[in-house]
Amino acid sequence: MPPPTAPAESPSRREQNKTATRAAIADAALVLLRSEGPSAVTADRVADAAGVSRRTLFNYFPTVEAALNVPTEVFLDQALRQLEELPADMPIMEAAVLAMRSLADRRALAPVAELFVLSVDTPQLNRLQLETWENCASRLVETVLGRVPRSESLEATVFAHSVVGAGKAAFAHWAHHHAGDLSDASLAALQHHLAEALSQLRDGFPTLRIQASAAPERKA
């Protein structure tokens, strides 16, 4: 009879406090951004709103903009974790689509969508958003190489950046039609765009292929 599996250790009180402090700072920064705009998101005001010192804020984040970027980091991390937990024998593109469809928490998606729109007019935040998406692509390369050992590094890199690019395109498409609208219907549309973008990538853009094959031949 196999020995009983030891229960997973729960986070210590210190780790819980650190997580709560980090979340409080990120939430305070986002609330200020929503209510008063980018100029209000200063270290002093964010620290005061979060109930911490300025020094504590910078112990957790290198910049105030980095605190604002937390929802995007969390969202992309959850997407990667969902992918990594799927069966290893599932085709990687199918797994990517399924992982995206499984992210059904619209409360978590709302601040990501909001920050995507707000970053357009906030250069520092825009730079951090780009870095976060790039980091996601790098992690995805490692995930692909781990799931598909026979894949080449270039192949995995092209795949990862294609998937990340499809995700960003879905956000951009949503922002063009729904910017500022964080209703359930709008966020449901964003969820659909994200899954559909990856499905198009998986299926090789079938509509574009049909249009290309149906196009009349040009006369010489």
pLDDT tens digits along 176-198: 999 879 999 999 999 999 999 99
Task: Bin 37: left if φ > 0, else alpha if -120 < ψ < 50, else beta.
Answer: left
Q: What is the DSSP letter of 216?
A: P
Q: Which residue's entry shows tokens 């969820």?
A: 191
Give the pLDDT score at 217: 62
Give the pLDDT score at 219: 57
- The rounded distance, in Å, linking the Cα atoms of 82 and 103 is 8
Q: What token pair was written down for 81?
A: 């974790």
Given a cut of 70, the residues of the chain with pLDDT beneath it are 1-10, 211-220
Give the pLDDT score at 163: 94
Give the pLDDT score at 220: 52
Give the pLDDT score at 90: 92
Helix, strand, or coil here: 21? helix
Give the pLDDT score at 212: 55
Give the pLDDT score at 9: 59
